[in-house]
Amino acid sequence: MLLIDLLEENAVKYPDDVALVELNPIPDDAENLRWQEYELVETGHDPHFRRELTWREFDERANSFANLLRAKGVQKGDKVAILLMNCIDWLPIYFGVLKAGAVVAPLNFRYTAAEISHCVNIADASVLVFGPEFTERLGQVRGELPGVREFIFVGMDRPAYAASFEGLIGEFPASKPEVALAADDNAAVYYSSGTTGMPKAILHTHRSLHSGAVTEQAHHSQTKDDVFILIPPLYHTGAKMHWFGSLLTGGRAVILKGTDPRWVIETAANEQATIVWLLVPWAQDILDAIDAGRIDLDSYDLSRWRLMHIGAQPVPPSLIRRWKQHFPHHQYDTNYGLSESLGPGAVHLGVDNIHKVGAIGKAGHGWATRIVDESGADVPRGQVGELLVLGPGLMKEYFKDPEATAATLRDGWLFTGDMAMEDADGFIYLVDRKKDVIITGGENIYPVQVEDFLRGHDAVKDAAVIGVPDRRLGEIAAAIIELKPGAVATTADIVAFAEGLPRYKRPRVVIFDRVPRNATGKIEKPKLRKRYHAEGIVARETES
């Protein structure tokens, strides 16, 4: 069975049931919003903009987009890139690409213009679907995308070079296109990065995507009655793959466009949510708002909320203990995965194992794990080694990168690059990351990129970037700056220079010190981590 078959089954079994809801809470400057197709309704205390799609409408919209793509010359195996903020059309577009027999390539909405160009080109995308937030960035690199034959625009203020999604989709039939697809056909390209920081294209099959739905439902027992609140970005393999469990059972999903704690709590109450998927900083913000009295839980009916689910980064045990004080009836689970393993599910804690908070868990449904030393031999329990995973959601390859594929997929096992240990009960704990990736608020920062940028400052001789603990974000980037002899620069100077980076990549802490390197010229980051973690560095954050 394919993932698209699940959508089509739901359209037959539950045609008039709501499949997707989009909620866009109105901020203070609501008069500047232009969502003309939205119906303004009262939900709880505040008005929201709201859109809905039934399962029939979802499937028909996906079919129409698939037929649009076929009319534009998209053939089986062609790549279609998606560069959109979360919206109710995101998933119909995604499924429309799959139904057309094409390979879908979701792009991180944080990408710079150069990263957009790199990712579109490395995937050989022939169509790019994008929204108004990206018009300026695309304008900088559109001439560098020779393979893109068609630009399709979703939203208002369409640039002249792009076709209108809304203007076109109604012209094409809502019937399923006749495209023969098999489980082992290519289906999706996701993106990851190695220590160089440049994204690699990760190729998955239809079999892999479908396995994500099976694994997720096995982990969290979704039923038709579950309501899933979806907040994280849909380009990511995380939240979307967790929603696949609801797709499998026909449950409703609510796409909430915003992370304000009150919006999350109010939406969970008004929509009678049963599952809410959070990142660590959002959970911290909710707890802080409760403790500060900005949220009164007694004012909300949250009785149906059964599962608080966190992933994408290590979870502080103190956070979960604090959460259970306010929500003692909640189940809790965390997952571990990589884009190479279809995101979540390769390892999961399990809702019955809250006593093991701090662990990432055991092998997920249909998955197997190993922890090995440098020679590839299994290490005894209690010893640290590299975590390996094997299961139905493994990538097919790094697209057009056979060397990286061979280094990462060996004898069927995925070498994750993450260092871990297994306790006496078989629960796995992450202890470090080989790749030096910093995970801040669920987003990956690749230090080499930031270091190379900072070395462009006239006063900087060398730079090293490490992660330091942060209560809200999990960890934040700290830049150790070594100045050139006789040069002068202040924290403010470095902060101002770093504004040339995307916001999430900017160092939150600036430390002036020598950057230690070993005999081969590599930065000795373990020394830096030990020094600043041991000293409990509390340097001034450069931005809130």
C-alpha dihedral over 337, 338, 341, 347, to 10 degrees?
-10
Determine the number of helices (DSSP H) and then strands (DSSP E) in the chain: 15, 28
**Angle, vertex CA 60, rays to CA 58 and CA 66, nearest 5:** 105
Angstrom distance (rounded) from CA 45 to CA 260: 15
What's 375-410 look like in SS3?
CCCECCCCCCEEEEEECCCCCCEECCCHHHHHHHEE
Q: Between the CA of residue 176 and those of 9, 100, 425, what are the distances in Å?
A: 13, 9, 49
Print pLDDT tens along the chain (544 aa): 899 999 999 999 999 999 999 998 865 544 443 333 344 444 444 445 789 999 999 999 999 999 999 999 999 999 999 999 999 999 999 999 999 999 999 999 988 899 999 999 999 999 999 999 999 999 999 999 999 999 999 998 899 999 999 999 999 999 999 999 999 999 999 998 644 557 899 999 999 999 999 999 999 999 999 999 999 899 988 778 899 999 999 999 999 998 899 999 999 999 999 999 988 778 888 998 999 999 999 999 999 999 998 876 667 787 888 899 999 999 999 988 889 999 778 999 999 998 998 899 999 999 999 999 989 999 999 998 899 999 999 999 999 999 999 999 999 999 998 888 999 999 998 876 666 778 888 887 878 778 878 988 989 988 999 998 888 888 899 999 999 888 999 999 999 999 999 888 999 999 999 988 764 456 788 888 888 875 555 444 443 3
Under 8 Å between Cβ of 397 and 410: no
- The gap from C-alpha 497 to its chain's centroid, in whole angstroms, comes to 28
Angstrom distance (rounded) from CA 66 to CA 72: 10
Per-residue burial over 241-255, b = 16 or more CB atoms within 10 Å of its CB, e = otherwise:
bbbbbbbbbbbbbbb
**Beta carbons within 8 Å of 108's beta carbon, 6+ residues apart:** 115, 191, 233, 235, 236
Under 8 Å between Cβ of 201 and 191: yes
Which amino acid, residue 86? N
> Can you give the pLDDT at residue 433?
66
Dihedral sign for Cα atoms in the order 168, 170, 171, 175: positive
> Can you give the pLDDT at residue 451?
87
What are the φ and ψ backbone dihedral angles of 520, each rounded to 5 degrees?
-90, 5
Angstrom distance (rounded) from CA 350 to CA 336: 11
**pLDDT single digits (tens) 482-520:** 998 889 999 999 999 999 998 889 999 999 999 887 644
Q: Which of 348, 327, 19, 340 is nearest to 194 (CA)?
A: 340
Domains observed in the chain: 438-534 (3.30.300.30)
**pLDDT single digits (tens) 323-381:** 999 999 999 999 888 899 997 789 999 999 989 988 999 999 999 999 999 899 999 99
Per-residue burial over 92-111, b = 16 or more CB atoms within 10 Å of its CB, e = otherwise:
bbbbbbbbbbbbbbbbbbeb
